[in-house]
Structure 1
Amino acid sequence: MDGGPLIDSHCHLDAAEFDPDRPAMLARAREAGVTTLVVPAVERANFGAVSALCREYPECRPAYGIHPMYVDRAREEDLDVLRQTLEREPAVAVGEIGLDRFVEPRDDARQEFFFVEQLKIARDAGLPVILHVRRAIDPVLKQLRRIPVRGGIAHAFNGSRQQAEEFIRLGFKLGFGGAMTHPRALRIRELAASLPLEALVLETDAPDIPPEWLGRGRNEPAQLPRIAAVLAQLRQVNAREVAAATSLNVRKALPGLTDTV
């Protein structure tokens, strides 16, 4: 891909899937032109791992939060730990937080409680949020209208145009990644092609959501240039324009990122 430097706005590089080859995986990302990587935590238990990873690899930047799929083992005091972590550690966002209406069984009320409390923490800290919105976009938007925060990113966006426009109105960017590369993902591809480019950011969600050419294989940030090339093809623009625009969009969404690209 003849593009410029890229930011991976969402990748879980502390995941056990990367334990065998993490340094090599990050070297591949650098060689591919991925200069900055945002690493969201998912629960109190991995705050330390995310922090240590980002200290060891300066191109990685942390976010801290409790993911909706981990609230069953979260406790209310974890919210205090989150506040303390944000006071002590440099973070680009509160995340990954939100709601998930896909996985069964689940406790919707418990998800809602932790989401609302973390929105309040983000609001009070003046931080943007990184949102998990799977099959839960309308209830997420409802809470964002109640508890205004400093924008952020709706990760792995897979909603309607009307929902996309509402996120944009509220100051959010929309994350597109591996799902967009699948030819049968018609709605995602149409939105990626037609939404304003200034509303889009690129992500891998590594090790998850692999692009079409990996099948069920492990995803990693080095795949981002090919994902960006798909976006460029869908929009009928050159890859360098996509790289420049999406990287700028991440920095606008997450102002705590240093200007590394």
Structure 2
Amino acid sequence: MTLMHDTVSGWFDSHCHFDFACLDDERDEQWALAQRLGVRGLLVPGVQRSQCEQLAVFCRQRPFYYALGLHPYFIAQHQQDDLNWLEQTLQDQLSGQKLVALGETGLDWVLATDATQREEQWFWFRAQVMLAKKYQLPLVLHIRGAHDEAVSYLRQQQFPCGGMVHAFSGSEQQGRAWRKLGFRLGIGGAMSHPRAHKLRRTVASLPLDCWLLETDSPDMKPAFWGPDNNSPASIPLLAAILASQHHLSLPVLAVQLEQNLRQTFPRMMAVG
């Protein structure tokens, strides 16, 4: 751990639900620990309107950035007017430096068990893609079981802003298709589990230019993580796993990940 902190300029958690209430009693402690281990900042995605309404204040005094979006997991809570609210809030907050993307949005065929539910997800996804295109924002995407469909749609729309596919678990071919569209792939605790052989092969086979590190805290716990909730403090150990898959030193990895981050979220200023 000390070696990681001393030899790299810092790590960034590119997808972290650090505002969730389950972290309220431990947030300050976990962030202090993460900073001691060399984590310099994080990106908090939006998932539903009531939570998005708090993000600007939550991130204001910290080296945190945020995205605004409506997640397919919370589709039952979304109201038609939330899209009007989202567009107005994008207009109001784009003048700041903390809003860097639109999301978390996407398609999750694990959650959608019939055609009606899939069409409902498509409605919210299409609407948010159009907003991201209108306001020239990258997307933060949640995609499960629908990589080919999402890639095809964004290609048809000639979406120009790229973004991040969070918690990527697709194939090497799908990963290359995303990268060709200008997206990078989020990787975190899933690659640490003993049975994740296929995912680690995909991580190793795709260029380092494809990847961003994330925790998805408080979820997506790595195999080595003991506490109930995941934390951005796990990022340095995830970095060590990613470096080993590509046979790189940690300083070289840190430089590449920083470049990936800045290219993916160009509105992001220097962290820290």
Taking structure 1 as the reference length, the TM-score comes to 0.95
Partner residue in 2 for 1:16: 21
- Matched residue, 1:108: 118
Contact 2:71 2:106 in 1 (8 A): yes
Match for residue 27 of structure 1 among 18, 24, 32: 32
Matches within 5 A, 1:1-261: 1=1, 2-3=3-4, 4=8, 5-57=10-62, 59-89=63-93, 90=96, 91-103=99-111, 107-147=117-157, 148-214=159-225, 217-260=228-271
Secondary structure of the 2:54 match is helix
SS at match of 1:244: helix
Amino acid across the alignment from 2:65: R
Structure 1 residue 73 displacement after superposition? 1.6
Could you tell me which amino acid in structure 2 is paired with residue 166 of structure 1? A
SS for the counterpart of 1:92 is: strand
3-state SS of paired residue (1:132): strand
Distance in 1, Cα, partners of 2:110 & 2:150: 14
SS at match of 1:138: helix
Deviating beyond 3 angstroms after TM superposition, the runs of 4 or more aligned structure 1 residues are none
Q: Which amino acid aligns with 1:189?
A: R
2:225/2:234 contact within 8 Å kept:
no
How far did 1:194 drift? 1.9
Give structure 1 stretches of 5+ with no counterpart: none
Q: Deviations over 1:226-245 (max 9, x none)?
A: 00001111211111211221
Residue correspondences, number:
260
- Contact 1:173/1:253, CA 8 A, preserved across alignment: yes
> What is the deviation of 1:71?
1.5
Distance (whole Å) between structure 1 residues aligned to residue 90 and residue 268 of structure 2: 15
Q: In structure 1, what is the Cα distance between the partners aligned to 2:142 and 2:173? A: 18
Structure 1 counterpart SS, 2:76:
helix
**Are the counterparts in 2 of residues 119 and 149 from structure 1 also a CA contact under 8 Å?**
no
Q: What is the deviation of 1:100? A: 0.7
**How far 1:29 sits from its partner (Å)?**
1.6
- The 1-side partners of 2:240 and 2:59 are apart by 27
* Alpha-carbon shift at residue 216 of structure 1 (Å): 7.6
Contact 2:172 2:205 survives alignment (8 Å):
no
The SS at the match of 1:154 is: strand
Contact 2:186 2:211 in 1 (8 A): yes
